[in-house]
Structure 1
Amino acid sequence: MIGLPSATRPTDLADVRVTNLALVLRHVRAHAPCSRADIAAATGLNKATVSSLVTDLIARRLLRESGLVGSRIGRPATMLTLEGMPYAAIGIEVGPDHLTAVAVDFAGGRLLTWRRAAPAPSAPAGRTVAAVAALAARAVGKVTGQGRTVLGLTLGTADAAHDGLGAQVNRSLHDPSFEVVVARAADLAALAEQREGSHAGSDDLVHLRGGAGVTAGIIAGGRPLRGARGLAGSIGHLTVDPDGPRCDCGRRGCLDLSLGLPALFRAALPTDETPADWGAGVERLVTLARTGDAIAVAALAAAGARLGDAVRALADVLDPSVVLLGGALTPLAPWLVPAATARLDDRHVVVAASTVEPHAVALGGAALALGRLEAGALP
């Protein structure tokens, strides 16, 4: 992120230029193809400054000229677009039963999408670290072998506190020139929604991520909302049923007890069925719901109602335009959304399935690295 200049010293002209370079870069990403005149009109920078900035960005291989477009007035304009080839950003989701790696170029083109089984939860922690490090090394090797520079590597985990995972992966990559970052999976998924999802560009959205529990990634006012300790969006213990069962936290009726996978499986699956893993359990639940199994449909409707209560609280506090269901909630959305929407009264918020799953977390990890570049951390 770009820091604000100190009030006790004059602004460095180099800082101003970096800020303006990032401004032009963001504009082209959002509006490409566009001309230098388009950029000047939209940003308020004069044409000479824009021309100098564009020349700099082309030299850095971040922009390229894509041809001429004629108009009824004046000479044809040279159009600009992002240059994807020289750079790559990598995101890896560290899930409970899988690892997913995604690499994208600066223009948003997908370079690789890999999914691997993760070590069993009962396996020693070192095995998970080794598996993540091996996947990261392969992904880095793949894109650098194409002649690209890696802008950053982001690891998405359930709580962003995975026992020094980032530092260990960094060491396994021999302290690379790019930054290795660990972030909450839900926060990264929200970034992916804002950048690539069906509501891309929305300044106010929530990504609700289902798994063992429920977490939220929040975009408010166009920016990620993480809180003072990075814990914003930890909504699994939001009370949605005051008369419900008691949670391990000591309260009653927490959202996790309605919408977390263990609770859903207990309510919807036959008592003699124990899913092999989360994925298998969700597939089984979807199959039962599609065939009209009364118990499964009723359990999902009840969970959807509690989801609606949670969305209603989010709408009152955050006023998002849309709440997107990700993770394990995405395939269950056809049964959850109607019941949730029915609980919203007159609150103007859309509840819908995510369109960036099943790669939302890894895509968001890549987007985080690209976002740092667009904030001024230029190569």
Structure 2
Amino acid sequence: MAMRIAAKSAGPGEAEEEPGRAKRADFTDVRANNLGFVLRQVRAEGRCSRADLAAKTGLNKATVSSLVAELIERRVLRESGSVIGNIGRPAVLLSVDTGYYASLGVEVNVDYMTLVAVDLAGNRLLSWRRAHDGARSTPGKSVSALAGLAKRAVDRMDSEGRQILGLAVAVPGMIDNDGVVQRAPMLGWSDFDLTGRLRQAMRDPKYTVTADNDANLGAVAEQRFGSWAGVSNMIYLTGEIGLGAGLIVDGELRRGATGFAGEIGNLLIEVDGRVGRVEDFAGIRAVLDELSESDDIAGTEVEAEVEDIVTRARAEEPRVVAALDRIGRSLGAGIALAVDLLNPEAVVLGGHYQALSTWIGPAAETELAARTHASGAGGAEIVVSALGHEAPALGAATGILNDIDAGLMPTPLGR
């Protein structure tokens, strides 16, 4: 199945509504939303008392006490010390329980696999990256490699006494709402039931296994952990061999009707009299095709080739600097189309664009300003990801936390 990324959460006592029609709230809906609301307040404060929660949420003290009791029982919150108030007995402080659950996110790409595990507060418990020649591996071999990496992480978390909340996989391709990879041309996959095959390889685990596009999940990570965390309107560009975009609009990830939104690499642009796709003019494959000194690049060699191009750019090799300027202008032309359509506050360059940003960034900014209809590019800024290649895997793990923040609470094993 495709990964569920929680929509903007309701406030206290509010039930989520179905698009286009009101949904009648029942007690379960309201309580779930209130559980999520209290958790988000504690997360935002770091540590706070039950009285603080009542004051900040507007819920009465009895309701807050009941909600907190359930969150503690579910191992989502914990009591963590006390503080002496102005009057009466010391107030017991609450914080997010970071010692019990773990969420796993994995990315499979053309040249690597990344795994990230986080606790309920989003702290990284594991961060692994390994070379993987995805372009030359069969889907079955890639699933076996994914399962092996995930099993190692599950074993590590189990040894620490942690319960796995879920495993989510980021893939550079078009994934439908059932978790089937319809097309992942850079990996050579089509109509591949990734989640079904991965569940089978992992012997049908008790936790959920989901999948989503790498750009979508990169955007989720940037919105929660990146240098523009909390921004309501943002575009995240993958910067891998393929070029995709994750779209945050009005604070929510937008996947489109069937999960295929964000294919910015297929937009047509004109640069220096040439017309072509953004990906063909400004993707990392275009960088390698023009500037690599190797004739046949294996997936595991992509990062080393990009590093070599960076070294030559730092040495101010004229051909390299000129090519990166042209690629940056092409990228800016593609970004301008997206900015005119979506009016984001930030466009985040991820993946290999991070290493090349010194040379492609200024050219992209100049082209963006020249091509957008709104003055000053409508306020949009091109920024470099602080999360690097880890972003999609981190976003995969983070999406599970977003569901909990929305009120979909886990249950500890044995209860």
Q: Same fold (TM over 0.5)?
A: yes
Q: Given that residues 88 and 149 in structure 1 are in contact (C-alpha distance below 8 angstroms), is that contact kept between their aligned partners in structure 2?
A: yes
The SS at the match of 2:33 is helix
In the alignment, which residue of structure 2 is the partner of 1:60? 74
* Aligned counterparts of 1:10 and 1:99: Cα–Cα separation in 2: 44
| CA distance 1:94–1:48, shift in 2 (3 Å) | same
* Secondary structure at the counterpart of residue 389 of structure 2: coil
Question: What is the CA-CA distance between 1:106 and the residue it aligns to?
Answer: 0.8
Deviations 1:316-372 (A, max 9, x none): 221211111111211111111111222333121121110111211111110011112
> 1:121-136 to 2 correspondence within 5 Å?
121-136=135-150
CA offsets, 1:269-325, max 9 Å, x none? Answer: 45x655443212211111111111111111111111122222222222212111111
Distance in structure 2 (CA, Å) of the matches to 1:362 and 1:89: 11
Partner of residue 147, structure 1: 161
C-alpha change, 1:34 and 1:350, in structure 2 (3 Å) is farther
Read off the aligned partner of 1:11 and give its amino acid letter: A
Q: What is the CA–CA distance in structure 1 between the aligned matches of 2:273 and 2:55, rounded to whole Å?
A: 57
- 1:205 matched to 2:234? The reply is yes
Equivalence for 2:220: 191
What secondary structure does 2:210 align onto? strand
- Cα pair distance change 1:337/1:93, threshold 3 Å: same
Match of 2:267 among 238, 253, 256: 238
SS at match of 1:253: strand
- Compare 92-101 and 253-262 and name the one that shifted more: 253-262
Asked if 2 retains the 8 angstrom alpha-carbon contact of 1:261 and 1:278, the reply is: no
Number of equivalent positions:
372
In structure 1, the gaps of 5 or more residues are: 246-251
Residues 208-239 of structure 1: CA deviation (Å, up to 9, x unaligned): 11122310011111110111121111010212
1:366 aligns with 397
Checking the alignment, whether the CA contact within 8 Å between 1:325 and 1:353 is kept in structure 2 is yes
Partner of 1:352: 383
Q: Which has the higher contact order (CA 8 A, sep 6+)?
A: 2
Distance 2:23 2:108 in 1: 44
Within the candidate set 311, 314, 318, 2:342 is matched to 318
Aligned pair partner of 1:82 in 70, 76, 96: 96
| Percent of paired sites with the same residue | 42
Amino acid at match of 1:21: L
SS in 2 for 1:358: helix
User: Alpha-carbon deviations, 1:37-88, whole Å to 9, x = none?
Assistant: 3333333322321222112111211112233345668775433221111100
Tell me which moved more, 220-229 or 260-269: 260-269
Q: Which residue number in structure 2 is paired with residue 104 of structure 1?
A: 118
Question: 2:56 maps to which residue?
Answer: 42
Q: Which residue number corresponds to residue 248 of structure 1?
A: none
Closer/same/farther in 2, CA of residues 312 and 70 from structure 1, 3 Å limit: farther
5+ unaligned residues in a row in structure 2: which ranges?
1-5, 8-14, 176-180, 182-188, 370-375, 411-415
2:351 paired with 1:327: yes
For the 8 Å contact 1:91–1:362, the answer to whether it is kept is yes
Report the secondary structure of 1:113's partner residue: strand
Q: Bigger CA drift: 182-191 or 64-73?
A: 64-73
How far apart are the structure 2 equivalents of 1:353 and 1:8?
Answer: 40
> In structure 2, what residue type is equivalent to 1:55?
A
Q: Are residue 255 (structure 1) and residue 269 (structure 2) matched? A: no
Deviation per CA, 1:164-195: give whole Å up to 9, x if none: 12111111222222110011001111111011
The equivalent of 2:288 in structure 1 is: 265
Q: Tell me if 1:223 matches 2:223.
A: no
Secondary structure at the counterpart of residue 11 of structure 1: coil
Flag the 1:316–1:212 CA change in 2: closer, same or farther, 3 A.
same
CA RMSD of aligned residues (A): 2.3
Given that residues 119 and 127 in structure 1 are in contact (C-alpha distance below 8 angstroms), is that contact kept between their aligned partners in structure 2?
A: no
Instruction: Classify the secondary structure of the residue corresponding to 1:378.
Output: coil
What is the CA distance between 1:134 and its match in structure 2? Answer: 1.2
Give yes or no for contact 2:108–2:134 (8 Å, CA) kept in 1: no
**TM-score w.r.t. length of structure 2:** 0.83
Alpha-carbon contact 2:172-2:242 (below 8 Å) kept: no
